[in-house]
Amino acid sequence: MLFTIFATFALAFIVLAAFIIVMTGWIVVDEKSYVTTTLFGGRYHKTYTAGLHLKKPWPIESKDRTVSLQIQEMVISASSVTEDGAKMGITVKAQYSPKEGKYYEAAYTLSDPVRQIQSYLEANLRGEINGQTVATILKSKDEISKRIKAELLEEFDKYGFDLAALLVDEPHLSAEMTAAWERKLIAERNLDAAKAEGEVEKVKRVMRAEAEGEALKKKTEALVAAREIMARGNASSLNEFVEGIHDGTITSRDALGFFNALDTREALRDASANGGKTVFISGGSDVLMNNMVAAINSDHEGHPVKPATPAPARPVAEKHQVSAELKPGAITPNGKPAPGTDPFQG
């Protein structure tokens, strides 16, 4: 009887043990994950990756933790005061996953991986904000991402995680600071535009002055050349006129006086035609004529001629005050020689 009872219990134990072995002697791990096991519920024993695996039956070896290998994303927002006193916030998206070969560290190093990684990232973000100005942060978003990622990679490696990506969103200021910053940027752009416009105007003025100077230079050179040609032509014509009278009764002075009288008559005629009542004839013209005659005679006859003493200036009276005594060569107010006084009439 006792033997029968003992045999029944033994058979039941064997069946139960066989059932436990069959039910707990293998483990199935899902794709993109891994499972850790412990011995007798205490010490870490082994890591199983995706697939079907045989293991020691419970309670010898038991399943402990299941960790996903998929890339996970956490969103961290941090705000702090910048170096120039503005309150700024930055939102960062960190993409991470357990690192191959570091599955034990990822499962057991951190007690709460998500919360601890978030705290670490927030501290790094605040450090970046505190040490820079608003302008630097707004312009160097990508550089901030690279710096934080470089600092975190080493730390994440200790914890068994790989930082796949770190995405930094656009830094944001308060509404008041944003409006003030925009006004500052507009003022700076206006200042740059004013400086650029000033430089353009400066270049235009310099180029215009250079062009005017070059044009004036060309005009002066042309005027000098024209006067040289006219002077040579007048001298040549005067010499030919004098040399054409073979009896020698006409000198260079006489010929120059003839031409000068013609010019004077034309000038007085034009002056009286414009409504003037009084015309003054300066004696300075005689000085010019005497000097020109001296130069021509010196060149023509081989020796200098002393210029004649200039005649004093004399006014030509108004129409109702014509002098009764008109000497040879006198000019009336209408620009015509007095009757019987024209030295060039037969």
Q: What percent of the chain is predicted at pLDDT more than 90?
A: 10
pLDDT confidence tier of residue 66, bands split at 50, 70 and 90: very high
* DSSP for residue 310: P
Q: What is the pLDDT of residue 37?
A: 94
Vertex 116 angle, CA 111 and 120, to 5°:
150
Residues 90 and 77: beta-carbon distance below 8 Å? yes
Residues 240, 187: Cα–Cα separation, whole Å: 78
Least confident stretch, 140-154, 248-262, 300-314: 300-314
Q: What is the pLDDT of residue 1?
A: 67
Residues 286, 284: Cα–Cα separation, whole Å: 5
Q: Tell me which of 277 and 36 has the higher pLDDT.
A: 36
Residues 31 and 55: beta-carbon distance below 8 Å? no
Q: What is the pLDDT of residue 69?
A: 92
Q: What is the pLDDT of residue 314?
A: 45
Tell me the per-residue pLDDT of 118-130, one tens digit each, with 9 for 90 and over.
888 888 888 888 8
pLDDT confidence tier of residue 68, bands split at 50, 70 and 90: very high
CATH superfamily membership of 72-173: Band 7 domain (3.30.479.30)
Q: Tell me which of 103 and 249 has the higher pLDDT.
A: 103
Q: Tell me which of 261 and 195 has the higher pLDDT.
A: 195
Residues 300, 239: Cα–Cα separation, whole Å: 8
Task: Give which of 312, 320, 338, 326 is closest to 278, Cα–Cα.
Answer: 320
pLDDT confidence tier of residue 343, bands split at 50, 70 and 90: very low
Diameter over CA atoms, the chain: 190
3-state secondary structure of 65: strand
User: Average pLDDT in the 299-316 region?
Assistant: 46
pTM value is: 0.46
Which residues are paired to 43 by β-bridges? 39
User: Average pLDDT in the 151-156 region?
Assistant: 81
Q: What is the pLDDT of residue 278?
A: 63
Task: Give which of 253, 260, 232 is closest to 301, Cα–Cα.
Answer: 253
pLDDT at 325 over 60: no
Least confident stretch, 14-18, 184-188, 220-224: 14-18
